[in-house]
Structure 1
Amino acid sequence: MYSLKVPFFHFLRVLITLLFCSSVTPFYMPRLGTFRRTIHHDSKTIPSSSVPGFRKFYFNQKLDHFNYKPESYTTFKQMYVINAKYWGGANSGSPILAYLGDEEALYYDYKNFLTDHAPRFKALLVYMEHRYYGESVPFGLSTTKALKNSSIRGYFNSAQALADYAAVLLHVKKTYSAKTSPIIVVGGSYGGMLASWFRLKYPHIAHGALASSAPILYFDNIIPPEKGYYSVVTKDFKESSEHCYQTIRNSWAEIDRVASKSNGLSILSKRFSTCKKVKRASNLKDYLDNNYAYAAQYDPAEVDSICRDIDAAPIKTDILDKIIAAFEPATPQKGSKPCHDIEVINLEGWGWQTCSEMVMPISHGNASDSMYPPEHFDLDSFSNQCKKLYGVLPQPHWITTYYGSHDLKSILHKFGSNIIFSNGLKDPWSCAGVLGDISDSLVAISTVNGSHCLDLSAADSTDPQWLVQQRHTEVKIIEGWIAKYHSDHQASNKLSPPS
């Protein structure tokens, strides 16, 4: 049985927030996120303890990097973390591996790709928190409070975040006398997009980028809905079990049928053991939708687990009982009865980001073999919801205008270098990733059985050989970038006239 002991990140519900207006069907999309979290910390960053050598710092960051109004020079405390345990030392030329924080508080208290390979590189590790998340919110506010202030949230965007990272990294290089140390930026998911964009926008600061599970093509309708996120979720479940796939596919209509009865919502509440009464069938369907998608995104083994439980039900078992058999209700608090919390409302920063610039037109689509009922992304409806929620309209073309995504292969071939795009093809976001090599230094590494950002997790003795090889390949490529950096630097010094 697929355990739901703590709710996963629920889909962005742009809104349930329309001032909690029950007459509006919320639009939502799958949350990104490098690693799946079992508990979400919004305003606090967990302290460093399990991995030695971490030190937390705060950088006086400018509120606005792109204007010269008096308020632009307002500063806030941006949190970053240094691990110098394996650092080769000042003026050694040892590299800096910089992790770019994404759409949540910075988690650095765990072993991961950077800590695993820091000894090999003799690297200085830098972890930077994204503005408006965790401890790095201007004016000392929480993310939630900052988003309620229209004069403050306008500084919350990816371009400002990249400029933040540039400022912190230059500060770190100066502080650690690391002038000749190449910087390799690393990020996953939204952070992977930031890593690739940082290499393009700040090539004089970052010598290379590892962009894991970065769906940089999911903008401006580059990816057609029938080939989008949910098509991969469908594929994952269908490959696991045809019967399971068909059962889930048929369950949506059955939920609607039961809900249409005079006491249908009460029946669904009781059968699915929800913590509160189901208010709309769409709430329950969104909840199930979310959990299927996140199983596919983060762990293919959970897809198999769900399908085993569905398939294990006797042949004449009711469709909904088959679905219920796959999910174990959580215990919300000690002593309470286990139940499914299907109405988790998430009003954090990613809601603002998707309503401003990170407009990803995700929907179920209308593919004939989809596991989901037909659904289309309606930009007008989405824009109206964002307008009601934040007072501004989304800018759906801005990402492709500012960073480029249309004809990306040609753009990167002309202007880019030293980026690894890694993707696990079981991950639904891989549909919008770069899956083919563009040049000798713009490399795509795809794994058939890989999931979301799996290569950035810590190595484990149980890792399959293909994952071991993936990480090995990434490290060898980065080593090549660093070697060429030093070779070019030495050649440049020989050509320079003596001082």
Structure 2
Amino acid sequence: MRPLPCVTMSRARAALVLPLALSGLLQAAAGRYLQSKLRHGAGTDRDPPFTEKYFIQQLDHFNFNSMGNGTFSQRYLITDEHWKKGDGPVFFYTGNEGDIWAFALNSGFIMELAAQQGALVIFAEHRYYGKSLPFGQQSFNIPQVGLLTVEQALADYAVMITELKQQLGAAGCPVIVFGGSYGGMLSVYMRLKYPNVVAGALAASAPILSTAGMGDSRQFFRDVTSDFESYLPECRQAVTESFQQLQHLADHQDFSRIRSEFALCKTPSSAADLHQLKGMLRNAFTLMAMLDYPYSTHFMGNLPANPVKVACDTMLSGPDLLVNLRNTAGIVYNSSGELSCFDMFNLYVECADPTGCGLGLDSLAWDYQACTEIDLCFESNNMTDMFPPMPFTEHDREVYCSKHWGVIPRPSWLKTQFWGDALSTASNIIFSNGDLDPWANGGVRKSLSSSLVAINISGGAHHLDLRESNDADPLSVINARRTESDLIAQWVKMAKLRS
């Protein structure tokens, strides 16, 4: 679910996700926009229209004595390029687990919709991610990291929306929140918790059920496998057999050959090393399943069009399955072809999210969240999926999180705090999911009422509908965006009538 650094990265969604640890400070505004576009692949011929700003935010919304009742600078991006000032709606993206530029430049549908409906657009960065670090480099120390919670993030957004509307002369303008992956979860939660602030929510690829511990722990990697098997049944078989061959070498402690076959920078020498290698390899398939877009992207790395097809063709390209497995992983980890070897501990970091936390400071933030509120106990088992048995139980999570963060997870908290599947009394939420996305079955797939609408996108990968229109888009996502546009226009109209 985690976004990951470009080129040599390990995936969400975000997401959640989905799914970035960016480096370097971008100085002048024009230079910042252009460099961000090139880095993240905005896919347009013009500079992004956003202005980068900072909002003075409360450190702790729920304890007046906490941390001296201090503040921090929270980054947001804003554009009034299409806004019918004082009348058009406000479209607010609830930033997720990464640098906000990555999401702004890969959610072009929001800008397209803003042009149609005359909306002001704001992308807000989640606390503890990107440049919104409450305590700078010390943000991930204990106890400072304790202010990284879903509840604090939602309160950030509610305060920011309310104050910016006053500052911008938009007090009477309805707010629609948008988000993909984890950001989509936050959009749902905003509508549930702050219906006085937001009039509706588009939650794309939001796994609100599985992350609340309400799903099947086997579901995620089973659905990753299904993506590859659906392209070619032989693909699943080849992947399964390649991992079996790897295990055979490990059983015979033939570590030198493992290093040679997988072009590793160092020779593995322990069970822990082999576990790390398996996790890195599995993560490559996870990313390609999530990002199986019909065109090349640079969102969570540099991936070709239809990466599942490319991966399967690579897996079936010759008789040496270990070489094929290495080359398939290289689609993700060595897209530039510049790496001479794979440093498996730098390319992939094991964490409390079996689908990957990414790298850099953002990965620390997501690891902490996966150790507290976000429940991601997914496993592979080599029976319902094509991957090696790699369990991650609630007990495993508890042991890991106690050791790394000194915390005990609360598996049922999201269900208690944000309604679980008891959503029937809510309103004005769109739950969109693509059938190629392994996160989809962790979310809402059936409409619950006329204003709790599930949209299932055939041939759609992770929050494809939030991306800008592309000539390669399947008809299903074109229709999905049209439905989303119509519903949001209705919500905005209704909100204006009530105001």
TM-score > 0.5 by shorter chain: yes
CA deviations on 1:339-369 (whole Å, 9 max, x unpaired) are 3332223342100100111122211257x44
For each residue in 1:208-257, what CA deviation from the matched residue of structure 2 results, as whole angstroms up to 9, or x when unmatched? Answer: 0000000000145421223x111111111111111111111122221111
Q: Residues 43 and 133 of structure 1 are in contact (CA less than 8 Å); yes or no, is this contact kept in structure 2?
A: no
Matched, 1:170 2:127: no
Q: Distance in 2 between matches of 1:166 and 1:299?
A: 34
TM-aligned CA distance change 1:206 to 1:51, over 3 Å: farther
Q: 2:287 aligns with which of 288, 294, 298?
A: 294
| Residue 343 of structure 1 pairs with residue 345 of structure 2 | yes
Query: Alpha carbons of 1:70 and 1:229: their partners in 2 closer, same or farther (altered >3 Å)?
Result: closer
Structure 2 Cα separation of the partners of residues 365 and 486 of structure 1: 52
For residues 99 and 293 of structure 1, do their structure 2 counterparts lie closer, same or farther at Cα, with a shift above 3 Å needed? same
Contact 2:59-2:147 at 8 Å conserved across structures: yes
- 2: CA distance, partners of 1:161 / 1:402: 14
Bigger radius of gyration = 1
Alignment partner of 1:318 out of 308, 317, 320: 320
Cα distance in 1, alignment partners of residues 471 and 146 from structure 2? 46
Change beyond 3 A, Cα 1:278–1:44: farther
Q: Does the alignment pair 1:357 with 2:373?
A: yes
CA distance 1:330–1:322, shift in 2 (3 Å) = closer
**Residues 209 and 331 of structure 1: is their aligned pair in 2 closer, same or farther, counting only changes over 3 Å?**
closer
Aligned pairs for 1:238-277 within 5 A: 238-262=229-253, 264-277=254-267
Q: How many residues align?
A: 449
Answering whether residue 308 of structure 2 is matched by residue 308 of structure 1, we say no
TM-score by length of 2: 0.84
SS of the counterpart of 1:161?
helix
Q: How has the CA–CA distance of structure 1 residues 153 and 166 changed in structure 2, closer, same or farther, with 3 Å as cutoff?
A: same
CA distance in 1, matches of 2:396, 2:386: 24
TM-score, normalised to structure 1, is: 0.84
> Does 2:223 align with 1:232?
yes
Aligned-pair RMSD on alpha carbons?
A: 2.5
On the 8 A contact 1:43/1:134 being kept in 2, the answer is no
Note the C-alpha offset of 1:484.
Answer: 1.5
Corresponding position of 1:47:
32
Question: How far is the alpha carbon of 1:178 from its aligned partner?
Answer: 1.1
CA offsets per residue over residues 167-214 of structure 1, 9 Å max, x none?
110111101111210000000000000000000000000000000000
1:95 counterpart = 2:89: yes
Question: Judging changes above 3 Å, is the alpha-carbon distance between structure 1 residues 238 and 476 closer, same or farther for their aligned structure 2 residues?
Answer: same
Which stretch of structure 1 is more off in the superposition, 102-111 or 239-248? Answer: 102-111
CA distance in 1, matches of 2:443, 2:284: 22
Q: Deviations over 1:32-63 (max 9, x none)?
A: 435678x7416857922453532222111111
Are 1:436 and 2:438 counterparts? no
Whether the 8 Å CA contact 1:329–1:338 is kept in 2: the answer is no
State the alpha-carbon separation in 1 of the partners of residues 83 and 415 from structure 2: 38
The answer for the alignment partner of 2:276 in structure 1 is 283
Aligned match for 1:33, one of 15, 19, 27: 15
Distance in 1 (CA, whole Å) between partners of 2:429 and 2:332 is 41
1:213 aligns with 2:205: yes
Gaps of at least 5 residues in structure 1 are: 12-29, 490-499
Gaps of 5+ in 2: 35-45, 294-305, 350-358
Change beyond 3 A, Cα 1:292–1:335: closer
CA distance in 1, matches of 2:480, 2:451: 16
Alpha carbons of 1:477 and 1:42: their partners in 2 closer, same or farther (altered >3 Å)? Answer: farther
1:394 corresponding residue in structure 2: 409
- The 1:364/1:335 distance shift into structure 2, 3 A limit, reads closer
Q: How big is the shift at 1:334?
A: 10
Kept in 2: contact 1:113–1:455 (CA 8 A): yes
SS, match of residue 99 in structure 2: coil
Q: 1:131 to 1:256 in 2, by over 3 A?
A: same
CA distance 1:67–1:236, shift in 2 (3 Å):
same
In the aligned structure 1, how far is the partner of 2:121 from the partner of 2:337? 43
| 8 Å Cα contact 2:217/2:379 also seen in 1 | yes
Post-superposition offset of 1:327: 4.5
| Residues 199, 209 of structure 1: 8 Å contact kept | yes
Superposition deviation, residue 70 in structure 1: 5.3
1:420 aligns to 2:416 (yes or no): no
Give 2:15's aligned amino acid.
G
Distance 2:68 2:417 in 1: 21
How far is the alpha carbon of 1:431 from its aligned partner?
1.3
Amino acid at match of 1:460: N
* Post-superposition offset of 1:401: 1.3
Shift of 1:310: 2.0
8 Å contact 2:14–2:96 — kept in the other structure?
Answer: no
- Are the aligned partners of 2:16 and 2:206 in contact in 1 as well (CA < 8 Å)? no
Q: Is the 2:17–2:182 contact (alpha carbons within 8 Å) kept by the matching residues of 1? A: no
